[in-house]
Amino acid sequence: MDDVIRLENIVKVYPPSVIAVDNVSVNFRKGEIHAVVGENGAGKSTLMKVLYGLVPRDAGEIYYQNQPVHFRQAGEAIAAGIGMVHQEILLIPEYTVWENIVLGQEPTRLLGQIDRAKARRLVKGKIDEFQFNLDPDALVGEISVAARQKVEILKLLYRNVSVLILDEPTAVLTPQEIPQLFAELGRLRDDGHTILFISHRLEEVLTLSDRVTVMRRGKMIATVDAKSTTKEELARMMVGRDVVLTSRRAAHSAGGVIFQIDHLSYKDGEGRQRLNDINLSVHAGEIVGVAGVEGNGQFELVNSVVGLIKPSTGKIQVQDKDITNAAILERRKLISFVPQDRGKMGASLNASIMENAIMTHHQLDKRFSLWHGLLLNYAHARRFTDGLEKQFSVSMASKFNPFRSLSGGNQQKVILGRELLLDSVFVLLDQPTRGLDVGSIEYVHEQILKMRQEDRAVLLVSADLEELFLLADRIVVMHRGELVADKPIEETTLEEIGYLMLEGKGKAQ
């Protein structure tokens, strides 16, 4: 099989001395699906951005169809036949499918007017050619996340790219949507397209790809045939040690109710019902997982609990204390909270690591204050941060460096450590492993199971069903703002939960 792309001795250094890609050489073949995997900071995304022209390389050569190329921007790569679908979907919700696909490259009539009929016909032809099962006239704002992802791919196919780079293509899909995407990507491969994809989900990597390239700390460790390796071997190459990929949730008896929601409802500012009569409880020593396609009320549920939005009706209790109308700081005396967005809600990226580590503690723990709260006790803050660094295995150069200097995994360790060191028996985790590599995920899972053993009550919101099945004692499913199922983990399957996520209650058998 011929090489369509060769990367030779690629180097990328971020000043002053961070080597993101360290002398990497790899080839991608025509008509193959090739996965690139590695921990956060391993260099895989940077390598793909160098190929795509988003990041300039410092050394090395790129050969495309046996010719040296040096793309200075993404438009040059697309014109040459290489396209990239990013994890963040960038479409216009008010436009139709076909309008989004042709945007920027519309067919025109003699006087420069857009030929709408021809544009729609061309898009319909691409949909039929690649069997993508899309309605060209549907508004993008009204279709599923999986369908939007197909629109992004079709935007590139419409521009006649032959190489597709996909960044975490299944991150926001349900189990039912993934096989269809894989089938469509398989047809593209069989049609001669080359597909490169970045993923953390090793089982999917082995299911979809023909070959897998593993990176660690900027270096290429190996390229292997997917059929001749295993999840465990890939994880070992990624991390440099054995990684536990199976559930270690031991039998544990749950105690009394710690967290309870009764008849919670919420309407947004436009009068739309976002939460509808939610009833939910979590016991001491229990992990309850919240599953649902994104946008079905999970965000509003979390924000209601932590006090960022006020519910229309209902009651929220922690340890029999009504916090429905409590101030955020009063809630934080009872709730440890790890938000889904580390940069916007979980931390201040420009503040120091120490300042982020002591957040909330400095208001609830008198040892952090001097002169009746007028001054911060820096000595205690330093000791606290040093203890967090050691206890949660945070890799940092200096506690005084900005928080943004940490890798994603280490940022999450700081936030998780900060919250677990609060004296609270209820823990709310919203997508705690999103964007993390396999080694960091293993660590976070260990901490979550440790909370359970300590008889803390854990509410875990996750878009990753496999994660919920590894950790949760019960799974509740949200669909259009309602809880449509509450099932012990032993009495359900991943397929049933996925079906309920898509269809709602009363449909799964």
SS (H, E, C) 398-424: CCCCEHHHCCHHHHHHHHHHHHHCCCC
Q: Whole-angstrom Cα distance, residue 4 to residue 32?
A: 10
Domain ranges of the chain: 3-239, 246-334+424-509, 345-423
Residue given tokens 């109308």 in the structure block: 325
Alpha-carbon dihedral sign for residues 160, 164, 168, 170 = positive
Q: How many CB atoms lie within 10 A of CB 108?
A: 11
Bridge partners of 67, per DSSP, are 64
Question: Are both 3-239 and 246-334+424-509 of the same fold?
Answer: yes
Confidence of residue 509 (pLDDT cuts 50, 70, 90): very low
Q: Whole-angstrom Cα distance, residue 449 to residue 287?
A: 8
442-453 confidence digits (pLDDT tens): 888 888 999 999
- The tally of CA atoms less than 13 A away on the side-chain side of residue 172 is 15
Question: What tokens appear for 410 in the block?
Answer: 């280490």
Of 183-192, 201-210, 421-430, 438-447, the one with minimum mean pLDDT is 438-447
- 219 phi and psi angles, rounded to 5 deg: -105, 150
Of 57-66, 142-151, 417-426, the one with minimum mean pLDDT is 142-151
Query: Residue 506 pLDDT more than 60?
Result: no
120-140 confidence digits (pLDDT tens): 999 999 888 888 888 999 998
Q: What is the pLDDT of the chain when averaged over all its residues?
A: 88
Confidence of residue 143 (pLDDT cuts 50, 70, 90): confident
Q: If you average pLDDT over residues 302-318, what whole number do you get? A: 94
Question: What tokens appear for 145 in the block?
Answer: 């996340």
246-334+424-509 CATH, one of 3.90.1150.10, 3.40.50.300, 3.40.50.920, 3.40.50.170: 3.40.50.300
With beta carbons less than 8 A apart as the criterion, state whether 293 and 148 touch. no
With beta carbons less than 8 A apart as the criterion, state whether 429 and 346 touch. no
Q: If you average pLDDT over residues 178-199, what whole number do you get? A: 88
Pairing of strands 219-225, 211-216: antiparallel
321-330 confidence digits (pLDDT tens): 999 999 999 9
Q: Whole-angstrom Cα distance, residue 335 to residue 317?
A: 11
Q: If you average pLDDT over residues 153-174, what whole number do you get? A: 83
Q: How many CB atoms lie within 10 A of CB 155?
A: 24
What letter would DSSP give residue 191?
Answer: T
Bridge partners of 114, per DSSP, are 108
With beta carbons less than 8 A apart as the criterion, state whether 185 and 208 touch. yes
Residues ≥6 apart with Cβ < 8 Å to 383:
none
Query: Residue 508 pLDDT more than 60?
Result: no
Q: If you average pLDDT over residues 469-491, what whole number do you get? A: 93
Residues ≥6 apart with Cβ < 8 Å to 91:
100, 140, 148, 151, 152
Separation in Å, CA 53 to CA 12, 49, 83, 128: 13, 6, 10, 31
Residues ≥6 apart with Cβ < 8 Å to 140:
91, 92, 93, 94, 95, 96, 97, 100, 148, 151
Question: What tokens appear for 402 in the block?
Answer: 């900005």
Instruction: Name the CATH topology of 3-239.
Output: Rossmann fold (3.40.50)
Quote the pLDDT of residue 323.
95
Longest dimension (CA), the chain: 78
Alpha-carbon dihedral sign for residues 62, 65, 68, 71 = negative
Q: Whole-angstrom Cα distance, residue 444 to residue 11?
A: 31
Separation in Å, CA 57 to CA 8, 67, 69, 107, 193: 11, 17, 12, 35, 25
Query: Residue 217 pLDDT more than 80?
Result: yes
- The tally of CA atoms less than 13 A away on the side-chain side of residue 146 is 17
Question: What tokens appear for 217 in the block?
Answer: 């700390």
Q: Whole-angstrom Cα distance, residue 37 to residue 114?
A: 42
Confidence of residue 183 (pLDDT cuts 50, 70, 90): confident
